[in-house]
Amino acid sequence: MSKNISKKGFETLCISDRLPGRTEGFSHVPPIHATSTFVYESAEKAMNVFQGKEEAYIYGRWHNPSYTIVEQKVALLESYGLDIETPEAILFSSGMAAISSVFLSLSLKQGDAVLTQGNLYGTTTEMLNTILGDHGVDILYQNLKDLKQVEVLLKKNKSIKIIYIETPANPTLDCYDLGALAALAKKYGKLTAVDNTFATPYLQQPLAHGIDFVMHSTTKFLNGHGNAIGGIVVGSNTKLMKQVWRMRKLLGSNPSPFDAFLLNNGIKTLVLRMEKHCNNAEKVAEWLQNHPAVGKVNYTGLTNHPDHELAIAQMRRFGGILSFELKGGVDAGIKLMNGVKHCVLTASLGTADTLIQHPASMTHVQVDREQRLQFGITDGLVRLSVGIEDVDDIINDLEQALA
Q: What's the pTM? A: 0.94
Could you tell me how many residues make up the chain? 403
Give me the mean pLDDT over the 260-273 stretch.
98
> In percent, how much of the chain has pLDDT > 90?
83
Q: What is the Cα–Cα distance from 259 to 43, expressed in whole angstroms?
A: 32
- According to the model, what pLDDT value does residue 159 have? 98
Give the whole-angstrom CA distance, residue 236 versus residue 85: 7
Evaluate if residue 21 carries a pLDDT over 70: no
pLDDT at 1: 42
Q: Please give the pLDDT value at position 398.
A: 97
- Mean pLDDT in residue range 359-375: 66
Across 338-363, average pLDDT: 89
- Domain with 365, as residue range(s), is 270-402
Order of strands, sheet of 294-298, starting from the edge strand that comes earlier in the sequence:
294-298, 321-326, 381-385, 355-357, 344-345
State residue 329's pLDDT score.
Answer: 80
Per-residue confidence (pLDDT) for residue 332, from 0 to 100 = 87
Residues 400, 291, 203, 366, CA torsion sign: negative
* 339, burial (CB in 10 Å: exposed 0-12, middle 13-18, buried 19+): middle
**Residue 76 counted as domain residue:** yes
Reported as a pLDDT band with limits 50, 70 and 90, residue 373 is low
At 362, the pLDDT band (50, 70, 90 cuts) reads: low
In a domain, 96, yes or no: yes
Average pLDDT over residues 105-112: 97
Q: Is residue 5 part of a domain?
A: no
Please indicate whether residue 20 or residue 102 has the higher confidence score (pLDDT): 102
On whether residue 245 sits in a domain, the answer given is yes
Query: What pLDDT sits at residue 175?
Result: 97
pLDDT at 364: 59
Does residue 16 sit in the same domain as residue 161?
A: yes
Q: Is the domain of 29 the same as that of 154?
A: yes
Q: How far is CA 62 from each of CA 36, 66, 81, 82, 171, rounded to the nearest angstrom?
A: 10, 12, 30, 29, 34
Q: In what order do the strands lie in the sheet with 213-217?
A: 88-92, 231-235, 213-217, 191-195, 160-166, 113-116, 138-141
Per-residue pLDDT tens over the stretch 237-256: 999 999 999 999 999 999 99
- What is the C-alpha separation between 65 and 84, in angstroms, rounded? 25
In a domain, 2, yes or no: no
Look at residue 22 and tell me whether its pLDDT is greater than 60: no
Residue 123 counted as domain residue: yes
- Residue 173 sits in a domain of what CATH number? 3.40.640.10
pLDDT at residue 334, as a whole number: 85
Nearest-angstrom CA–CA distance, 72 and 218: 14
pLDDT of residue 266 exceeding 70, the answer is yes
pLDDT tens for residues 319-338?
Answer: 999 999 998 887 888 889 89
Question: Lowest-confidence range among 16-30, 110-124, 187-201, 263-277?
Answer: 16-30
Question: So what's the pLDDT on residue 375?
Answer: 62
The reported pLDDT for the residue numbered 24 is: 53
pLDDT: which is higher, 357 or 313? 313
pLDDT tier, 315 (very low <50, low <70, confident <90, very high otherwise): very high
User: Do 168 and 205 share a domain, yes or no?
Assistant: yes
| CATH number of the CATH domain containing 276 | 3.90.1150.10
End position of a domain, from candidates 251, 267, 283: 267
Q: Are residues 256 and 278 in the same domain?
A: no
The domain boundary, picked from 237, 267, 297, lies at 267
Is pLDDT at 134 greater than 60 in this prediction? yes
Q: Assign 3-class secondary structure to the chain.
A: CCECCCCCCHHHHHHCCCCCCCCCCCCCCCCCCCCCECCCCCHHHHHHHHCCCCCCCCECCCCCHHHHHHHHHHHHHHCCCCCCECCEEEEECCHHHHHHHHHHHCCCCCCCEEEECCCCCHHHHHHHHHHHHHHCCEEEECCCCCHHHHHHHHHHCCCEEEEEEECCCCCCCCCCCHHHHHHHHHHCCCEEEEECCCCHHHHCCHHHHCCCEEEEECCCCCCCCCCCCCEEEEECCHHHHHHHHHHHHHHCCCCCHHHHHHHHHHHCCHHHHHHHHHHHHHHHHHHHHCCCCEEEEECCCCCCCCCHHHHHHHCCCCCCEEEEEECCHHHHHHHHHHHCCCCEECCCCCCCCCEEECHHHCCCCCCCHHHHHHCCCCCCEEEEECCCCCHHHHHHHHHHHHC
For 59-90, the pLDDT digits (tens) are 999 999 999 999 999 999 999 999 999 999 99
The pLDDT value given to residue 379: 76
Euclidean distance between CA atoms 208 and 243, whole angstroms = 22
**Residue 104 and residue 151 in one domain:** yes
Residue 4 lies in a domain: no
277 in the same domain as 190: no
State whether 246 and 325 are in the same domain.
Answer: no
Task: Verify that 22 and 167 share a domain, yes or no.
Answer: yes
Instruction: Supply the pLDDT for residue 154.
Output: 98
Judge if 183 and 305 occupy the same domain.
Answer: no
Task: Give the per-residue pLDDT at 2.
Answer: 46
Quick one: 22 and 83 in the same domain? Answer: yes
Query: 64 and 198: one domain?
Result: yes
Same domain, 80 and 202: yes
Domain boundary among 202, 236, 267: 267
Is position 298 within any domain? yes
Q: Which residues are CB-neighbours of 22 under 8 A, at least 6 positions away?
A: 30, 69
Q: Report the domain count for the chain.
A: 2
